[in-house]
Amino acid sequence: MSNPSTVLVIEEDSQKRQIYKSVLEFVEQEGRITDCRHWKETLTQSNTISAIILGDCGSDETLLKVFNGVREVDTALPIIRLVDKNNKIPKNQSEIEASVQSNSFMKLELPLKYAQLTEVLHQATVFSASKEKTGETRSAELFRSLVGNSRSVRNVREMMGQVADSEATVLILGESGTGKEVVARNLHYNSNRRNKPFVPVNCGAIPADLLESELFGHEKGAFTGAISARQGRFELAEGGTLFLDEIGDMSLHMQVKMLRVLQERTYERVGSNKSMKADVRIVAATHRNLEQLIKEGRFREDLFYRLNVFPIEMPPLYERLDDIPLLINELIARMEAEKRGSVRLTPAAVMALCQYRWPGNVRELANLIERLIIMYPYGVVDFADLPEKFRPKGKVVMADEVAEEKAFVAEDYAVSNMLFDDQAAESPRLPSEGIDLKEHLSNLEFNLIKQALDDAGGVVAHAAKRLKMRRTTLVEKLRKYGLQRQSESSVL
């Protein structure tokens, strides 16, 4: 796909178009805008469009015409439907609106939230890029697995995009529960082998004396109990991807055999001398330090270099605590989609979870969310409702500090897709490492002023009204922070 990729916004209201364009610029996404009459010219004249954001078209008939028209131009282009959550949906939802939403790549609720917008745009961009390589459609669910906006997660995504469509052997490193198999599956489904099997095998869960038969298969009578011939995982994965999980637990005897397969791309079934070709891509993973195992004589150095062609290191959850609100949102959404119940967490509860070290990583967080859903089905979980080990010891915010601290919570609350219930929030707690209160308040004021200006299309008077302050006061603050504003006379 051409770089940089561009998002095309189709919206009939000119003021809304400018607001959406400003929002895209704020999240550092190239955006173009057009109305519901001239979208086709804009779309066909550009080869960088990676996604469509479809807003209001005035009528259901025009909306359906635009939606079907985009599909005719490019059936693979992701269409993101903007939905105003203040409307009474689905009670007053028309059949056309319901059809457009269900057939869109995703829907995006208004008013826009930073975390939701960036995550949806990322999924749409990856989805569009993958189809440009393959020419085929894949489920959007595959791109929702690696949730987060932290630098480490973005780095993992970038590396996956570089290696997915190659034949290189990938070694995924990281602690247990960080999502190594999620990465392996995404690599497979974004490769040209995606129509062939993805076969996982846990090398640590299979006894050493049975692993050879499990991987390579065996002939009838090869050993006691071999009453018939059996295919191994290499045969089952023919043409696809073989995922060797916990390869650091593999015995030295099997490491020798695995090295030969990687070098010669051939193997034999147990009890046979007939060589078989191994047309599989190897993706391996381990939570162990292989270089340390090499020093201890427990892992072959030559096998390590065969596996370590393209290493991807998964970050532990304690290094990406900013992603926890997004992860909570995603995990609850999955539980709801699977009809396993739901739960809501207050900002105070989420702040507490952001201070926990998470030795079990994302898997531990998923287990906690499932536990909370069982304990408080469709309820609200506050700080005091969390299991004791998830409640950090620290200074409790005093009553006269609650108002200012709630402002901080509101910012986090917006970033986590409005997952929490405002009325359920209790007094939050300060982070254990403390904060620079003056700097935090200044940053919060700057961000809120910028959001108000963006929402108001640059009209200072409208932004001041939203912030419930005098226009002259806002002008002074704009000068203080060096924010540029448009001429009010030029904005309708």
Q: What's the CATH number where 235 sits?
A: 3.40.50.300
Residue 447, both tokens:
């961000």
Give the C-alpha separation, 1 to 379, whole Å: 45
Number of structural domains (the chain) is 4
Residues 278 and 330 in one domain: no
Residues 172 and 291 in one domain: yes
Which residue range forms the structural domain that includes residue 351?
A: 320-433
> pLDDT by residue (tens digit) across 330-356?
888 888 877 888 888 988 899 999 999
Report the range of poorest mean pLDDT among 204-208, 236-240, 247-251, 380-384. 204-208
> pLDDT by residue (tens digit) across 151-190?
898 899 889 989 988 999 999 999 999 989 999 998 998 8
Region class of 226: left (phi > 0), else alpha (psi between -120 and 50), else beta: beta
Residues 165 and 311 in one domain: yes
> pLDDT by residue (tens digit) across 76-130?
788 999 987 665 444 445 778 777 776 777 888 888 887 778 778 877 766 665 5
Residues 179 and 311 in one domain: yes
| DSSP category for residue 457 | T
Residues 132 and 65 in one domain: yes
Residues 175 and 255 in one domain: yes
Name the nearest CA neighbour of 189 among 226, 155, 229, 146.
Answer: 146
Is residue 428 domain-resident? yes
Residues 425 and 444 in one domain: no
pTM of this prediction exceeds 0.75: no
User: Domain boundary at 287, 315, 343, which?
Assistant: 315
User: Domain boundary at 117, 143, 169, which?
Assistant: 143
Give the C-alpha separation, 291 to 485, whole Å: 56
Task: Tell me, letter by letter, the H, E, C secondary structure of 149-206.
Answer: CCHHHHHHHHHHHHHCCCCCCEEEECCCCCCHHHHHHHHHHCCCCCCCCEEEEECCCC
Give the DSSP H or E segment for 9: strand 6-10
